Amino acid sequence: MASIREVAKLAQVAPSTVSRALNSSGYVAEETREKIKAAVAELDYVPNQWIRNLYRQSTGIIGVVAPGLIHPFFSSLWNHLELELRKFGYNMMLCSTGGDEQREREYLDTLERNLFDGVIDGAAVLPDENYAKLEKPIVFLDRIVPGIPVVSSDHRQGGELAAKKFLECGCRKVLHTVGDRQYRLQSHEGDDALDRYLQEHGVETIREEVSWDDTTDYASCYKLTKKLLTAHPDVDGVLASDLQAAAFLKAAASLGIDMPGKLNIIAYDGTFVTDFNSTTPTAIVQDVRTIARQTVAVLLKRINGQQLAQDQIVVPITLVEGETTNRTSFKAK
């Protein structure tokens, strides 16, 4: 790896002149420029970007903290984030915590101590105070902490869309799986909205708290869903994330439950995995691309020191009708 000094020596100029020529900053005589160009070619000189970063105090790398890479919703989110960051000349360092506190802490530490330009935390599971001392521009996904910008789907809308669909289908008892409630997440709004709306309309709801494994690992999902369907035989509506919904579908079939006659299932997320099923589920679809776009937009504003109009950004969500909910409802009249 040739250094700038070697180039300078060969071109018989000072290192600073080479620097200027290469960055086209400041004046360099055409003749000198030529000599330098020749020397660069001869030595196959490539400036060490790392060192440049040292001066610029920036690397063009954004750290992304993820709970996992396999879950279809997240893998597709990271994919879109990468594309979006690339658009603005940034690279992405992807860190996966597996939902573990300690690992998140370690990663945040690494990201803080290195010259990363910013952080996107999609796996924030630490108490609020841990985030207070972070100096880097940061954006959260879903997790709400005062003073930190957060991007997420409009889960309240998602919950309501699902609730309305269940009502249309004439459901009387709806079960939905919810995550841990220890910290404030935007997605909790969805659970609350669902319950509120359904209960206002006289429909019973059951919340079933599930672990991260139960939403990520299909085998766990399947075991869980079978258990739930057995424990609550009178449930006629289910809202659960894609994988779980797929598992519910399979489990219900194996239990001989008539669908969608006796059981309406709505999948939350609407990633590509729902396509596999022989029956296409009705799904609440998150707009991953827009989430990625907004997240990057917010982060860049932070990096450039601009003010944000709002700390919380919610992205609209849609319901896509499939075959797992009753079409012959009174809505269709």
Binding mask 19-48 for DNA (x = CB under 7 A): xx-xx-xxxxx-xxx-------------xx
Residue 139, strand partner residues: 120
Q: Residue 46 or 332: which CB sits closer to DNA? A: 46
Binding test (CB under 7 A) with DNA, winner from 16, 79, 91, 199? 16
Q: 63 with 111: CB under 8 angstroms?
A: yes
Smallest distance, a second copy to C-beta of residue 31, A: 28
Give the shortest CB-79-to-a second copy separation in angstroms: 4
Q: Which residue has the tokens 């004046």?
A: 27
Least distance between DNA and beta carbon 52 (Å): 4
Residue 127 engages DNA in binding (rule: CB under 7 A): no
141 interacts with DNA by CB under 7 A: no
225 interface partner picked from a second copy, DNA, none, CB below 5 to 8 A per type: none
**DSSP bridge pairs for 95:** 65
User: Alpha-carbon torsion 118, 120, 123, 126, what sign?
Assistant: positive
Q: Considering the complex, what minimum distance in angstroms separates the CB of residue 1 from DNA? A: 7
Residue positions counted in the chain: 333
The entry of DNA, a second copy, none near residue 31 (CB within 5 to 8 angstroms by kind) is DNA
Residue 15, binding choice from DNA, a second copy, none, Cβ under 5 to 8 Å by partner class? DNA
Q: CB under 5 to 8 A by kind: which of DNA, a second copy, none does 88 bind? A: none
Label each residue of the chain as H, E or C: CCCHHHHHHHHCCCHHHHHHHHHCCCCCCHHHHHHHHHHHHHHCCCCCHHHHHHHHCCCCEEEEEECCCCCHHHHHHHHHHHHHHHHCCCEEEEEECCCCHHHHHHHHHHHHHCCCCEEEECCCCCCHHHHCCCCCCEEEECECCCCCCEEEECHHHHHHHHHHHHHHCCCCEEEEEECCCCCCEHHHHHHHHHHHHHHHCCCEEEEEECCCHHHHCHHHHHHHHHHHHHHCCCCCEEEEEHHHHHHHHHHHHHCCCCCCCCCEEEEEECCHHHHHCCCCCEEEECCHHHHHHHHHHHHHHHHCCCCCCCCEEEECCEEECCCCCCCCCCCCC
Between 48 and 230, name the residue whose CB sits nearer to DNA: 48
Task: Write out the residues near a second copy by the rule CB under 8 A.
Answer: 1, 46-51, 53-54, 59, 61, 68-70, 72, 75-76, 78-79, 82-83, 91-96, 110, 112-115, 135, 217-219, 222, 246, 249-250, 253, 272-273, 275-278
Nearest distance in Å: CB 98, a second copy: 8
Return the one option of a second copy, DNA, none that residue 202 interacts with (CB less than 5 to 8 A, by type): none
- The interface partner of residue 291, options being a second copy, DNA, none and the CB cut-off 5 to 8 Å by kind, is none
Specify whether the CB–CB gap between 187 and 144 falls below 8 A: no
310 binds, among DNA, a second copy, none (CB under 5 to 8 A by kind): none
46-65 binders of DNA (CB under 7 A): 47-48, 51-52, 54-56
Q: Can residue 15 be called a binding residue for DNA (CB under 7 A)? A: yes
Among 14, 38, 132, 255, binds DNA (CB under 7 A): 14
Residues that bind DNA in the complex, under the rule CB under 7 A: 1, 3-5, 12-17, 19-20, 22-23, 25-29, 31-33, 47-48, 51-52, 54-56
